[in-house]
Structure 1
Amino acid sequence: MSVVKKTNAGYTVQLSIGSGKNRIRQNKTFVTRREANEWLTQQSAILGGSKALLYQRKMTVMSFYDLWVANKKKGLAKNTLKSYSATKNRLSPYLSRIKVSTLTHQQLQGVFNMLSKRYSHETLRKDLSHIRSMLRYAMRISVVTAKVNPANDVVITGNDDSYYKNVDDKVLPLSEFNVIKEYLIRFAIKKNDWHTRNMLGLSIAISTGLRGGEILALCYKDIDFSECILTVNHSWDGELVAPKTKASHRVVPIPDWLVDKIKYWADLNNLSLDSDMQVMTRKDGSVGSVGSLTSAFKKLQKKLGFSPQYSLHNLRHTIASHLLNKGVNIVTVSRLLGHSSVRITESYYLGLVSEDKVAERRKVLELL
């Protein structure tokens, strides 16, 4: 039986579907009864009772992938849907006979080892991201009962020069990076302004190298304003979720100018600095998307006279590559980015640093 109860914190949904070992229980609190009822209706439709859950657990990985895409389909751009479809075409030969409920990390790693012989690093990185998100959804509705997402820490192997051949497409020139950073430092904060909110998100990105989802999930209480540090506790995937890997839980230093901007933004909007509200929360209470931040970033590039070719994630690439080129220890860079191992940092970024430093880096990695 599922009910909505009024509590001191708001309206709490107590969702209960199925029975015995197949019973699903979820509790979630909302500000309004309407939000609570909408969520209850949505979850009941998704889970569809214990029989539907048992059926979903028997589905193959790719059949469940189709279900996941269908649930996300509304409102997605055509290019995004094409990307999901391309992932399905590449992975279907390997995952069409494996049950989603029994999929293991070792099986996924084996699949991506084979795919690495045929496809580019960038292509497989997107495929892995799609599978990871699908499995996160499967865990959320109890189709997958593993405590750790099987896609976490899967490494895309192989010597893929195609991933590195267009460095200019991945890393902003230092001159452009500095101009953009200077603009964000000087940008004037305005109350309840959507443009200001986007500029604040870009300021966090260019100062920390956080992933887009981590920026959207950042709450005021996650920031130590006196010590000038922030703690990454969550990521954003339509709701607050665990970060990508265990190593993604990390403490990141932030510059004084960014601390001052966030404090001023909170003060203008009468928000407490120890609030659990997300910094990127909109006036209507919703949270934006990584796509909206990327769009704002491209508009800013165009405004400053640059070709708007770089995405929000390219800021992360840029920070990493410039730090490595300046001689910052690769272990430090790996921890700053929240990678689960130094090997992952090496696989992503050694191809983006100057050639005269690559051999030196590889010698270091052999000893780590």
Structure 2
Amino acid sequence: MASIYKRGTTYTVNVSVVKNGKRVRKTKSGFKTKRDANYWANDIENRKNNDELSAVFAPDITVPEYFGKWLETYKGNIKSSSMTVYLATLHTIERSDILSTTKAFKLTRARAQQYLNEFGSTHIRSTTAKRKTQLKSAYQDAVLDGFIKVNPFERTIVTGSDPKDNDLKFLETDDYLLLINETKLVPTINNDIILIGALTGARIGEILALTTDDIKDGIIDVNKTEQSATRTIDTTKTKSSVRLIDVPVWLTDRLNSSYQGRMFNISQGAVNKAFKKLQTKLEFKNIVSFHGLRHTHASYLLSKDVSIDYVSQRLGHANTAITMKVYAHLLSSKRLQEIDKTISLFDKGLQ
């Protein structure tokens, strides 16, 4: 920080700078106005910041080197789960024929687009979009820091394949109800985890973080999550993810009588493996991931005319707009049914 003070009829400025590895004070006097003194101080501060940044972001570093340094500098305090996603991007660009050896501050928009095309050729569009968002953010800081004038990822196009049909992410109603009855019948750790997922729509990390203190009469209190990579307990995905979920009392009675303290000492990968094995054993047509069970839970409730407001709260969505976006195809189908019912009412009334 610069200090400005008046000496006689003029102003003097002191600024702390680093020279030859040592911090020294740079002083300049004789400014007629405080405004002039501020201009000079700001100029010195900007030069100092640029010098410090240049020491971190050398002008000849490659794109992966810049992205890694950017993570260290600007993303040091993010959650480990978020950092895992950023590190996946870093790993990807380190292996990219297009970006691995490209100088970070020489990257053109055309070359950035070539990379997105390359990545999109083997990934779905939403995954490519996430990569672009992260790289664009990194390069936006390069613009703000004065290393480049234009963000090379600005106005680039996201490419990639379409995701699997939404129907493949849901269990059929008969399969869903069979799954609940099967896991209810035989109490095991895997069955209990799957049963909680089926009856709550909770995320797998939220379930694995549960303790018996979170299990009350007919209510499961979701207030934390387990990070997949480290298996450590962390805050929930969003503030709205903290919620109370109503469940049958027999479920909470069963859990309280079977566990004490933290309930499940098992990895998310092991749960997913067991869940898919059970679906295969039950001869389900569509094999879904554990997250697909969350979609199945919500879809089942919406198909039974449960309020979208309540389903949204149950899932821990921030608002119903998110729920409507995720389940747009299902809600559209329901809307067509409502149209048919409405037209039918008027047709009968006019006969």
TM-score by length of 1: 0.50
- The residue aligned with 1:85 is 92
- The residue aligned with 1:290 is 268
Q: 1:207 aligns with which of 199, 205, 229?
A: 199
The CA distance in 1 between the partners of 2:94 and 2:324, in whole Å, is: 25
SS of alignment partner, residue 167 of structure 2: helix
Matched letter for residue 231 of structure 1: D
1:292 Cα deviation from its structure 2 partner: 1.5
Taking a change above 3 Å as real, the CA distance of residues 356 and 201 of structure 1, as seen in their structure-2 partners, is closer
SS of alignment partner, residue 210 of structure 1: coil
2:298 aligned with 1:320, yes or no? yes
Q: 2:316 aligns with which of 305, 324, 338?
A: 338
Taking a change above 3 Å as real, the CA distance of residues 307 and 327 of structure 1, as seen in their structure-2 partners, is closer
Matched letter for residue 326 of structure 1: K
Structure 1 residues 116-135: aligned runs within 5 Å: 123-124=125-126, 128=130
1:354 Cα deviation from its structure 2 partner: 5.5
Q: 1:232 aligns with which of 222, 226, 239?
A: 222
Say if 2:223 and 2:242, in contact at 8 Å, map to a contact too: yes
Matched letter for residue 185 of structure 1: K
Taking a change above 3 Å as real, the CA distance of residues 341 and 264 of structure 1, as seen in their structure-2 partners, is same
Matched letter for residue 280 of structure 1: F
Taking a change above 3 Å as real, the CA distance of residues 122 and 307 of structure 1, as seen in their structure-2 partners, is same
Paired positions, count: 228
The CA distance in 2 between the partners of 1:87 and 1:309, in whole Å, is: 34
The alignment-based identity, stated in percent, is 29
Taking a change above 3 Å as real, the CA distance of residues 180 and 244 of structure 1, as seen in their structure-2 partners, is same
- The residue aligned with 1:19 is none
Matched letter for residue 259 of structure 1: T
Structure 2's unaligned 5+ residue stretches are 1-51, 58-64, 106-115, 135-157, 340-351
2:221 aligned with 1:185, yes or no? no
Matched letter for residue 180 of structure 1: L
Taking a change above 3 Å as real, the CA distance of residues 161 and 344 of structure 1, as seen in their structure-2 partners, is farther
Q: Deviations over 1:204-225 (max 9, x none)?
A: 101100011101111111111x
- Report the RMSD for the aligned CA atoms in angstroms: 4.7
SS of alignment partner, residue 327 of structure 2: helix
Matched letter for residue 264 of structure 2: M
Say if 1:185 and 1:257, in contact at 8 Å, map to a contact too: no
Taking a change above 3 Å as real, the CA distance of residues 332 and 60 of structure 1, as seen in their structure-2 partners, is farther
The CA distance in 1 between the partners of 2:290 and 2:124, in whole Å, is: 15
SS of alignment partner, residue 283 of structure 2: coil
Structure 1's unaligned 5+ residue stretches are 1-50, 99-113, 133-157, 190-195, 282-287, 362-368
SS of alignment partner, residue 244 of structure 2: strand
The CA distance in 1 between the partners of 2:277 and 2:179, in whole Å, is: 12
- The residue aligned with 1:246 is 239
Q: Deviations over 1:299-345 (max 9, x none)?
A: 00111122462110001111111211221221111111011122111
Say if 2:125 and 2:162, in contact at 8 Å, map to a contact too: no
Taking a change above 3 Å as real, the CA distance of residues 62 and 175 of structure 1, as seen in their structure-2 partners, is farther
Q: Deviations over 1:132-163 (max 9, x none)?
A: 9xxxxxxxxxxxxxxxxxxxxxxxxx9x9945
Structure 1 residues 16-95: aligned runs within 5 Å: 61=67, 63=69, 85=92
- The residue aligned with 1:280 is 264
Taking a change above 3 Å as real, the CA distance of residues 296 and 354 of structure 1, as seen in their structure-2 partners, is farther
SS of alignment partner, residue 218 of structure 1: coil
Q: Deviations over 1:236-293 (max 9, x none)?
A: 1121111011100111012223223212312xxxx3xxx3xx2112xxxxxx222221
Taking a change above 3 Å as real, the CA distance of residues 231 and 86 of structure 1, as seen in their structure-2 partners, is farther
Matched letter for residue 207 of structure 2: I
SS of alignment partner, residue 172 of structure 1: coil
Larger Rg: 2
Taking a change above 3 Å as real, the CA distance of residues 351 and 260 of structure 1, as seen in their structure-2 partners, is same
The CA distance in 2 between the partners of 1:209 and 1:330, in whole Å, is: 14
- The residue aligned with 2:189 is 197
- The residue aligned with 2:10 is none
Q: Deviations over 1:55-103 (max 9, x none)?
A: 69xx8556556999xxx9xxx9xxx9799638997xx8xxx989xxxxx
Say if 2:170 and 2:292, in contact at 8 Å, map to a contact too: yes
Say if 2:171 and 2:286, in contact at 8 Å, map to a contact too: no
Taking a change above 3 Å as real, the CA distance of residues 97 and 82 of structure 1, as seen in their structure-2 partners, is closer
- The residue aligned with 2:167 is 168
The CA distance in 1 between the partners of 2:322 and 2:309, in whole Å, is: 11
- The residue aligned with 1:149 is none
Taking a change above 3 Å as real, the CA distance of residues 218 and 88 of structure 1, as seen in their structure-2 partners, is farther
1:128 Cα deviation from its structure 2 partner: 4.9
The CA distance in 2 between the partners of 1:229 and 1:340, in whole Å, is: 20
Matched letter for residue 183 of structure 2: L
The CA distance in 1 between the partners of 2:128 and 2:161, in whole Å, is: 17
The CA distance in 2 between the partners of 1:203 and 1:55, in whole Å, is: 51
